[in-house]
């Protein structure tokens, strides 16, 4: 089959492109290289089944042509990282909402399946943990910038489901929970590569806030396998699915684990949230997925535990 992967030179997108090519599919990656990179796709750039188009999902004519030539669209192009989102709110909102709208509209004439990658951010401050797909969204005020990102991804989901209902575009939505792995950068605020980079460099490992906030981390191979199965299963159209891991850890414990695995002498220090980020940030205390729906639908169960995932990330940094 012919896949179009928007954001295909990004962290998750490049791993998905590799996964698809290894299974005999033809892959076109669309990426403006704003947060993706040519380095991410160096292992596949000469593969005869792969094509990179350097452009943006905001370019209607280019996108329409690529969509028309594909069987399945995996839409990963989006603003990434808390730091990036807070510092560039307008571009983040435009990329997320207008880009998704363009992808869905381009799929109307031929009815290509669209796999939309959403985020656990849409659950917001909901305290009903673990989060199931039918949980309410509890978002903060419009004056806090991070909620703009959560709202934009929720709007993406609303758009996708509206196009499914009214325009018969076959869509499926995957809500990703804190994906980690090789090629992820700490440049945009992602915590694991930031901790690993600091630990290996002998710098202070900076924990934002009290460190008691908890997260669950999913290794990228588990995520791309889930996205692939969601793209292939014909019985789940119109569905929304959490993609994550149920192994919960505090951010302080994560810092300690990274320090130990790196055999680092770095000190772990705490930085107040207001110093870590400028105006427009509010944290969530817990974020943990309920995976029962995706397990029933496609048999998903994460295979890589946190220790193994961190070791792989550390090895990729050392390389």
User: Of the listed 3, 149, 163, 228, which one is catalytic?
Assistant: 149
Q: What is the reported pTM?
A: 0.95
Annotated active-site residue 149? The verdict is: yes
Least confident of 52-66, 82-96, 272-286, 300-314: 272-286
Architecture of domain 2-180+218-244+287-303: 3-Layer(aba) Sandwich (3.40)
281 pLDDT above the threshold of 80: no
280 pLDDT above the threshold of 60: no
* pLDDT, mean of residues 120-128: 94
* pLDDT, mean of residues 184-192: 84
- Biggest CA–CA distance in the chain, Å, is 58
* Residue-range domain boundaries for the chain: 2-180+218-244+287-303
122 pLDDT above the threshold of 70: yes
* pLDDT at residue number 81: 67
pLDDT band at 88; cut points 50, 70, 90:
confident
């Amino acid at each position: 089959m012919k896949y179009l992967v928007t954001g295909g030179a990004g962290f998750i997108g490049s791993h998905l492109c590799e996964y698809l090519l290894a299974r005999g599919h033809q892959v076109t990656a669309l990426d403006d290289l704003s947060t993706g990179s040519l380095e991410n796709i160096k292992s596949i750039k000469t593969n005869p089944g792969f094509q990179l188009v350097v452009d943006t999902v905001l370019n209607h004519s280019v996108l329409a042509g690529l969509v028309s030539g594909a069987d399945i669209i995996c839409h990963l192009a989006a603003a990434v990282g808390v730091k990036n989102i807070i510092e560039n709110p307008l571009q983040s909102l435009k990329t997320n909402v207008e880009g998704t709208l363009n992808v869905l509209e381009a799929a109307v004439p031929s009815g290509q399946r669209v796999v939309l990658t959403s985020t656990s951010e849409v659950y917001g401050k909901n305290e009903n943990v673990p989060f199931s797909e039918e949980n309410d969204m509890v978002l903060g005020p419009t004056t806090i910038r991070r909620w703009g990102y959560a709202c934009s991804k929720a709007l993406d989901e609303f758009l996708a489901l509206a196009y499914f209902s009214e325009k018969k575009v076959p869509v499926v939505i995957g809500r990703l929970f804190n994906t980690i792995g090789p090629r992820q950068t700490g440049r945009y605020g992602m915590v694991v590569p930031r901790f690993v980079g600091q630990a290996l460099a002998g710098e202070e490992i900076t924990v934002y806030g009290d460190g008691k906030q908890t997260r669950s981390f999913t290794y990228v191979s588990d995520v791309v396998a889930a996205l692939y199965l969601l793209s292939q299963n014909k019985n789940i159209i119109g569905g929304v699915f959490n993609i994550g891991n149920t192994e919960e850890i505090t951010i302080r414990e994560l810092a300690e684990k990274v320090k130990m695995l790196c055999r680092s002498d770095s000190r772990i220090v705490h930085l107040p949230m207001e110093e870590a980020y400028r105006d427009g940030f509010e944290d969530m205390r817990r974020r943990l997925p309920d995976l029962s729906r995706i397990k029933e639908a496609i048999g998903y169960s994460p295979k890589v535990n946190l220790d193994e995932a961190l070791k792989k990330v550390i090895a990729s940094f050392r390389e």
